[in-house]
Amino acid sequence: MILKKKDLLIIVFLLTLLFSSCVNDYVPEYTGYPKEVENILVNKCSTTGCHDSQSKGAAGGIDLSTWDKLFEGGRNGTPVIPYSVDYSYLLYFVNTYPDIDSTILQPTMPAGSVPLSRNEVYTLRNWISSGAPNVTGKIKFTDNLQRRKVYVANQACDQVAVFDADSKVLMRYIEAGEDHNVVEAPHQVKISPDGQYWCVVFYSGNFVQRFKTSDDSYAGSVTIGTGQWNTMSFSPDGKKAFAADLSAGKISYINFETMQSTIIAALNLPHGTWVSNDGNTLYVTCQQGNFIYKINITDPLSPSTQHVELEDAPQDFNNKFDPHEIIFSPDGSKYFLSCQYSNEIRVMQTSNDSLLAAIPVGQKPQEMSISGTRPYLFVTCQEDATQGPGKKGSVAVIDYNTLNVVVTGGIYSGFQPHGIAVDDYNDVVYVANLNYDPAGPAPHHSTDCAGRNGYLSIIDMKTLQLLTISNPDGITYSYKNELLPFPYSVAFRK
């Protein structure tokens, strides 16, 4: 039989369809999601004009086209946190069933389409609860036990947020505290000198908890007594630590070798703590007055206490300077005190505890962090009102060699900055902004925790401006990751 040209073209067309169909059926585009999750996130959410790679710029910066893209996050952080159903905000927008979760946010996703079914919502919840694994069962961020991390203690939720320092992505929320029926308020998170542990003290708890930095697993606790525990500091070898109770004025000596503690001093309103480089002296701020405490801890069970006056005047407990926190320069030659009443940083010479300088900063200076690669001391000034309308707070930058202010008026990092930590490896500074004042910017989403969400911002030490994220589509924005209410403390693990 002789085929006509028209018939031959039809046969070629049909064969093309056949082979194309085979390719689509047997070699689908790989998304990394388990099939039942892919059917929801890819087919209903990662669509043209929504959360795909081309349209994410107008969709909060979130790309749901693949499992890996999902965990890159968006302009308000990561929408899915493995194992954290309560804090994965993707669920707040796709759920329309109050009996599944009372937190329902608008606009309902998928935008302009039929809401997800009850079974689909449960599919996503169960998937996140089991760690949000990919199609092979891999859990995100479990491939590197030595990764550099950033920890943020969220006081209103008994949760510690864990970030990957290199990608700036929120990886986990780790529950802190012992009684899950009450808020025990993790106030400060600290990294042990060897980098192997992170520890938490609680404003409404009677213990210090310790976790491994490798996998953030629980590694034990030490009972230190009832109190409003604000800060703790390690000895240089990490075997000992000292915690301050603001309410009753106690100082607890913690022995991490025996996992026991002893109250060694009773002071007036102690807050900030710092152990000298040789491990022989504990410095403690007195949060109301004009002096600090200096305690000889050569033998921690037999300490001796003296006072260091911050002016040429007798010590008193009236509001004068009200030193809140203390930090030493990298070489240990001087130390800095954030004086929250006088709105200044008092700089003291370590050798004789004499005053070197009083440096004015923004209103209510709180936490401090210092760089070892640049001569910068960073100070959060929580209530500074000089940044302009709708803004509250600033970060002061001081050259700790010349004792001069580097940025006039400070840097606006966000509303009510408090916790702060320098990351010299990535040349950035992490700032936890409380944003608890109703005058602050409306949070992107809410949670069941009491209070308004705070957020993490990042300062680029090269430019001393907020870190800018640039997308391939040309959209740029300042880094911001929403957190749970009252993110008080930040710590960086090298």
Instruction: Please state, in angstroms and rounded to a whole number, the distance separating the CA atoms of residues 315 and 4.
Output: 108
Provide the 3-class DSSP secondary structure of residue 269. Answer: coil
Q: Is residue 80 part of a domain?
A: yes
Same domain, 320 and 451: yes
Instruction: Please state, in angstroms and rounded to a whole number, the distance separating the CA atoms of residues 176 and 163.
Output: 16
pLDDT tens, residue order, the chain (494 aa): 444 434 433 333 333 333 333 232 323 478 999 999 999 999 888 876 678 776 676 678 889 999 999 999 888 888 999 999 999 999 999 999 898 887 878 888 888 788 999 999 999 999 999 999 999 999 999 999 999 999 999 999 999 999 999 999 999 999 999 998 899 999 999 999 999 999 999 999 999 999 999 999 999 999 999 999 999 999 999 999 999 999 999 999 999 999 999 999 999 999 999 999 999 999 999 999 999 999 999 999 999 999 999 998 888 889 999 999 999 999 999 999 999 999 999 999 999 999 999 999 999 999 999 999 999 999 999 999 999 999 999 999 999 999 999 999 999 999 999 999 999 999 999 999 999 999 999 998 888 788 999 999 999 999 999 999 887 667 788 999 999 999 999 999 99
Same domain, 332 and 358: yes
What pLDDT does 48 receive? Answer: 64
Q: Is residue 324 part of a domain?
A: yes
Gyration radius from the chain CA atoms: 26
Residue 389, number of CB atoms within 10 A of its CB? 5
Same domain, 173 and 60: no
Which of 115, 138, 161 is the last residue in one of the domains? 138
Same domain, 161 and 79: no
Provide the 3-class DSSP secondary structure of residue 120. Answer: helix
- Into how many domains does the chain fold? 2
Instruction: Please state, in angstroms and rounded to a whole number, the distance separating the CA atoms of residues 385 and 431.
Output: 18
- What would the two tokens of residue 182 be? 């009450």
Residue 333: which CATH number?
2.130.10.10
Same domain, 347 and 475: yes
Instruction: Please state, in angstroms and rounded to a whole number, the distance separating the CA atoms of residues 109 and 150.
Output: 31
Q: Is residue 144 part of a domain?
A: no
Instruction: Please state, in angstroms and rounded to a whole number, the distance separating the CA atoms of residues 46 and 65.
Output: 5
Q: Is residue 174 part of a domain?
A: yes
Are residues 306 and 297 in contact, defined by beta-carbon separation less than 8 angstroms? no
How far are the Cα atoms of 91, 138, 287, 442 from residue 445, in angstroms, in the given order?
Answer: 11, 28, 35, 8
Same domain, 177 and 258: yes
Q: Is residue 290 part of a domain?
A: yes
Which of 138, 164, 190 is the last residue in one of the domains? 138
Same domain, 133 and 153: no
Q: Is residue 227 part of a domain?
A: yes
Which of 119, 138, 157 is the last residue in one of the domains? 138
Kindly report whether the peptide bond that precedes residue 107 is cis, defined as omega within 30 degrees of 0: yes
Same domain, 10 and 116: yes
Same domain, 240 and 98: no
Are residues 411 and 397 in contact, defined by beta-carbon separation less than 8 angstroms? yes
Sheet strands side by side (includes 270-275): 270-275, 281-286, 291-296, 304-309
Query: Of the candidates 81, 211, 54, which has an alpha carbon nearest to the alpha carbon of residue 140?
Result: 81
Q: Is residue 143 part of a domain?
A: no
- What would the two tokens of residue 248 be? 């009753």
How far are the Cα atoms of 40, 44, 99, 105, 110 from residue 113, in angstroms, in the given order?
Answer: 13, 9, 22, 16, 6
Q: Is residue 316 part of a domain?
A: yes
Instruction: Please state, in angstroms and rounded to a whole number, the distance separating the CA atoms of residues 115 and 124.
Output: 14
Q: How many alpha carbons fall within 13 Å on the CB side of residue 330?
A: 13
What pLDDT does 450 receive? Answer: 85
Instruction: Please state, in angstroms and rounded to a whole number, the distance separating the CA atoms of residues 99 and 118.
Output: 10
pTM: 0.92
Residue with tokens 């989403």: 445
Instruction: Please state, in angstroms and rounded to a whole number, the distance separating the CA atoms of residues 306 and 47.
Output: 67
Same domain, 303 and 373: yes
The range of the structural domain enclosing residue 334 comes to 149-493
What pLDDT does 30 receive? Answer: 86
- Give Cα 131 to chain centroid, integer Å: 20
Are residues 37 and 50 in contact, defined by beta-carbon separation less than 8 angstroms? no
Residue with tokens 């100082």: 251
What pLDDT does 14 receive? Answer: 34
What pLDDT does 249 receive? Answer: 96
Instruction: Please state, in angstroms and rounded to a whole number, the distance separating the CA atoms of residues 303 and 281.
Output: 9
Same domain, 342 and 411: yes
Are residues 65 and 167 in contact, defined by beta-carbon separation less than 8 angstroms? no
Q: Which residue type sits at 52?
A: D
Same domain, 249 and 284: yes
